[in-house]
Amino acid sequence: MSSFEDADTEETVTSLRVTIYHPGQMQNGIFQSIRFYNPEKLPSSEVVKFGRNSTICRYTFQDKQVSRVQFSLQLFKKFDSSVLSFEIKNMSRKTSLLVDSTELGYLNKVELPYRCMVRFGEYQLLVEKEDGESLEFFETLFVMSPRPLLQEHDWPAGKPTPEFCRSSLWCTQSTSLSASPREMDENEY
């Protein structure tokens, strides 16, 4: 019997395709440690961190304006659901993370839609999920976009929508926020 016939049945894996754009990507080498167009299989229990610190983060951005850990992604299942979902959590103390029009503060987390735009600072990440069967692994694939994604995909570049407007002052302040949070923290403590 050949090894082909003897092999375990292959399972499809849940995959995340991340298309990235940053206006300085051609000059600054900020994505030099990311292997584009190279599918990577990761254990399903891994909390995948993105940021500047290469000892902590699986995917690093060579940019001093990026936090040591900017955000994290992890797989999970809702109770009694067979579908694997991804959750994204903002790990930056000072910089907001935008998931479509939802603004996440430090340690806020949200389930990723099947297709969404994730933004912080001048970074734009179009994240697209594809379901798979495997509970053991998931796959990531990074693609660099030569053009800004917001224009390319006609994404609403609107202002973040606050979920909790407890006072008119807060609402006034939040609606004056830029769609691209400019402030970048260092998490140096």
Partner 1 sequence: MERPLTVLRMSLYHPTQGSAVFATVPQRLQHDTSPLLVGRGLDAHLQLHLPRLSRQHLSLEPYREKGSALLAFSLKALSRRGCVWVNGLVLRFLEQVPLSTINRVAFAGIQMVVHVEGGTSLEAFVCCFHVSPSPLIYRPQAEETDEWEDIPKEPPAPGSE
Residues that bind partner 1 (CB under 8 A): 44-45, 47, 75-81, 84, 89, 91, 93, 104-109, 135, 163-164, 166, 189
Name the minimum Å distance from CB 85 to partner 1: 9
Asked if residues 94 and 185 have their Cβ atoms less than 8 Å apart, the reply is yes
Name the minimum Å distance from CB 138 to partner 1: 10
Name the minimum Å distance from CB 151 to partner 1: 29
Distance CA 69, CA 106 (A): 11
- 149's tokens: 């994604």
Name the minimum Å distance from CB 118 to partner 1: 16
DSSP 8-state symbol, 36 = T
Could you tell me the CA-to-CA distances from 28 to 18, 52, 171, 182 in Å, in that order?
Answer: 20, 14, 37, 18
Distance CA 77, CA 80 (A): 8
CA 48 remoteness from chain centre: 9
Instruction: Closer to partner 1 by CB, 75 or 112: give it.
Output: 75
Name the minimum Å distance from CB 136 to partner 1: 8
**Bridge-based pairing state of the strands 97-99 and 102-104:** antiparallel
